[in-house]
Amino acid sequence: MLFGSNRTYIYLDNAATTPLCDAAAEAMAPYMKAAPDGTFGNANSLHSIGREAFSELEDARARVARALGAQRPDEIVFTSGATEADNAAIVGMALAERDRGRLRGNAASGRVVMSRIEHHAVLHSAAMLKRLGFEVDFVDNDASGHIGVEALERVMREDTVLVSIMAVNNEVGTVLDTAALAEAAHRHGALFHADAVQALGKIPFNVGALGVDAASFSSHKVGGPQGVGVMYLKTRTPFVAYMAGGGQERGMRSGTQNIAGILGCAAAVEHAVAFQPAFAERAAKLRDSLYQELCSLPKVSATVRLESGEFAPHIVNVCVSGMESQTMILQLDLRGFCVSGGSACSSNSLDPSHVLSALGVKRNLAQGSLRISFGEITDEADVASFVEAFKEVVS
Ligand code: PLP
């Protein structure tokens, strides 16, 4: 895949962000033009321009609900991204559950359980809950990031109000068993939230079928614009909104809606879900052949044990002993390849990522980790030329 106005790149960092897809760009176009050709409107205004924006907003909500498997459009709340969706869902559900407990005369402050391999948006939401008096505990994962129901059962307690476990890990691609984990949480009386950012469009993910109470999604990971996200919140799930203001999104997320972004997000989500099976089949072949090529080289090993369970089709993560991620990323960039080490959000740090630490990867090995992630237009030729550049860099 070639990109750039004055340079060509092969972009293999699709877990960090993806290029805008045609469907999203087309959906956004009318709202991105200046007057008098462009359209605009506050979806909360009563006049016809406002009502037109409102009708587009509600149509987008209904389409996203259908694509994600929600029962009703009003289970979809548009946010500024998955970071906000994670924060809102985790803090909002935990606070609401604590309020409910107190009404019933329960003095306990409440407890939240999550995995150690969550994105910082989830881990730092938990840190916020801790400051608000909640207890936060972690469920054990195996060396590839998988979490068994028994491991979750072991940490559940009567005062656990919420469990948050991601559907697909963003650094190494581990697929978690959302349906089984959600059911276990429910058996113990807790709500269940899944950060499904890296699952959408990559594995089947239907909120209704999986039985989650809440889930977070990000538009820019599936060909939509940056700065837009979706919080799925099942009807009647206890929730306290922390974004106070004009009461938009039925009071669950105040703030004038980003109509252009939401229309782009809806088009991208529909596209990603419709093409998920085809994408997964193609990407899994690229993943398997890339792992095979890279791991046949001296000093290179897969970060996770691929036979240990299910992994997402779009993520490859290897460790190169004796090398540093940053050096490899910059050397590959000079050769026209975009990849990352760990997650993009924490790539400025030289510390090994918290995910690799939680998998038990030794510090010196984790410092040489590289994540290669595929998108819709990644093809075999891209992967083959990456392998050649990688060989040059590590030799
Ligand atoms: N959760 C996961 C698993 C992610 O991979 C990301 C992005 O890297 C996020 C949350 C945050 O998403 P956003 O960039 O939309 O805030």
Question: Mean pLDDT score of the chain, rounded to an integer?
Answer: 94
pLDDT reported for residue 107: 66
> What b/e readout covers 180-213, taking b as 16+ CB neighbours within 10 angstroms?
ebbebbeeeebbbbbbbbbbbbbbebebeebbbb
- Grouping H, G, I as helix, E, B as strand and the rest as coil, residue 168 is strand
Percent of the chain with pLDDT over 90: 90
- pLDDT digits over 130-152, tens only? 999 999 999 999 999 999 999 99
pLDDT reported for residue 109: 73
Instruction: Identify which of 114, 119, 231 to mutate to test ligand 1's pocket (most ligand atoms within 8 A of the CB).
Output: 119
pLDDT reported for residue 342: 63
Instruction: Identify which of 120, 172, 193, 197 to mutate to test ligand 1's pocket (most ligand atoms within 8 A of the CB).
Output: 197
pLDDT reported for residue 349: 59
Q: Rounded CA gap, 216 and 195, in Å?
A: 5
- pLDDT digits over 178-225, tens only? 999 999 999 999 999 999 999 999 999 999 999 999 999 999 999 999
For residue 174, pLDDT beyond 60: yes
Q: Which amino acid is at 106?
A: N
Residue 301 pairs in a beta bridge with 319
User: From the CA of 82, how far away is ligand 1's center (Å)?
Assistant: 5
- Could you tell me if residue 132 is left (phi over 0), alpha (psi between -120 and 50 degrees) or otherwise beta? alpha
Residues comprising the chain, all counted: 395
Q: Rounded CA gap, 27 and 21, in Å?
A: 10
DSSP states along 22-84: HHHHHHHHHHHSPTTTS----TT-SSHHHHHHHHHHHHHHHHHHHHHT-SSGGGEEEESSHHH
Q: With contact defined as beta carbons under 8 Å apart, do 336 and 9 qualify?
A: yes
Going by pLDDT thresholds of 50, 70 and 90, the confidence category of residue 7 is low
- pLDDT digits over 312-358, tens only? 999 999 999 999 999 999 999 999 999 998 655 555 556 789 999 99
pLDDT reported for residue 101: 78
- Give yes or no for residue 195 CB within 6 A of ligand 1: yes
- Give yes or no for residue 345 CB within 6 A of ligand 1: yes
